[in-house]
Structure 1
Amino acid sequence: MVRRLEPADVPLLYPLIRISFPHITLQEWVRIGRRLARSGPRAREGMLVARYGPARPPCGMATFRRGFDLCSGDTLTSDYIIALSYTHEQQIMNALLPAMETLARELGCDAIRTFSYNKPTINRDSAVRKLCSSGHITERTVHLDHNKEIDRGL
């Protein structure tokens, strides 16, 4: 189950944020989380949260921002995609990526851009895998065909 970050989700997501970004304090996260939880027609950034079910804690997240690219036009970019579980990493990604496509279409984007590792890093204090970070970054942009599903040929 994937949905946009809501204000009630902000404190529930902090354990995942803390494991992935140890430099972010709870107070900082609450400030950031509130900003990312804003919705409405002018919201250009936010976060998608993945859960195994409605009463379950978050198991993954993806940040997003809407911007413009000279080559791709209006683009939904996800800088950070984080999965809590190694064993269910692909299942979490399989839920987040279609939700990103739906969101991109709702926001009128022409493409989705994600960043990922060639060699994922692991926080030494945790088993959480960061799928995006500063090392070994690979950027992938997928153009949307507004009449069909994602055009996977690009």
Structure 2
Amino acid sequence: MVRRLVPADVPLLYPLIRLSFPHISLREWTRIGRRMARAGKRAREGILVAHYGESRPPCAMATFRRGFDLFSGDTLSADYIIALSFAHKQQIIDALIPAMEKLAREMGCRAIRTFSYSNPMANKEDTVLKLCSTSHITERTVRIERDKQIDHPL
């Protein structure tokens, strides 16, 4: 199950935030999370939250923002996809992608841009792997109406 972040999710997501961004305190995350949970037609950024079921805690999240690209026009970008279980990464991505497409259509975007971090790193304080690292970043942009990858001219 995937939905937009609601205020009740904010404290439940902190373990995911802590694993991937250890420098962000609970207090700072609460401030950020509350801002990202604001709903409305004018919201240009936010977080999608994945759950294994209705009454289960969050297992993953993806940040998103609406922007403009000269090549693609209005574009929904997902910068970070963070999962509690590295073993279920593909299942989580398979659930998030249709939700991102629906959100992109609602926001009037013509393309979706995702960033893949292909070099998972272990948190030094924990053995849990995270999907976000600073190396081996691959960008992929897909036009919604054509459902195919866009090759950017250089």
Q: TM-score, normalised by structure 2?
A: 0.91
Give distance in 2, aligned partners of 1:42 and 1:128: 36
Give distance in 1, aligned partners of 2:86 and 2:12: 20
2:45 maps to amino acid: E
After superposing on structure 2, the runs of 4+ consecutive aligned residues of structure 1 that deviate more than 6 Å are none
Deviation at 1:127, TM superposition (A): 4.2
**Quick one: structure 1 residues 135 and 29, their matched pair in 2 at CA, closer, same or farther if it must change by over 3 Å?**
same
The within-5 A match list for 1:6-85 is: 6-85=6-85
Question: Residue deviations 1:8-59, cap 9 Å, x none?
Answer: 1101111111111110001000000011101101100000000001111110
Give distance in 2, aligned partners of 1:117 and 1:20: 12
Q: Report what 2:136 is aligned to.
A: 136
Give distance in 1, aligned partners of 2:10 and 2:119: 29
SS at match of 1:53: coil
2:53 maps to amino acid: G
Whether the aligned pair in 2 keeps the contact of 1:20 and 1:128 (CA below 8 Å) is no
Give distance in 1, aligned partners of 2:127 and 2:56: 19
State the superposition RMSD in angstroms: 1.4
Deviation at 1:153, TM superposition (A): 5.1
Q: TM-score, normalised by structure 1?
A: 0.91
Structure 1 residue runs of 5 or longer lacking an equivalent are none
**Quick one: structure 1 residues 153 and 115, their matched pair in 2 at CA, closer, same or farther if it must change by over 3 Å?**
closer
Whether the aligned pair in 2 keeps the contact of 1:61 and 1:82 (CA below 8 Å) is yes
Question: Residue deviations 1:52-72, cap 9 Å, x none?
Answer: 011111100000000000011
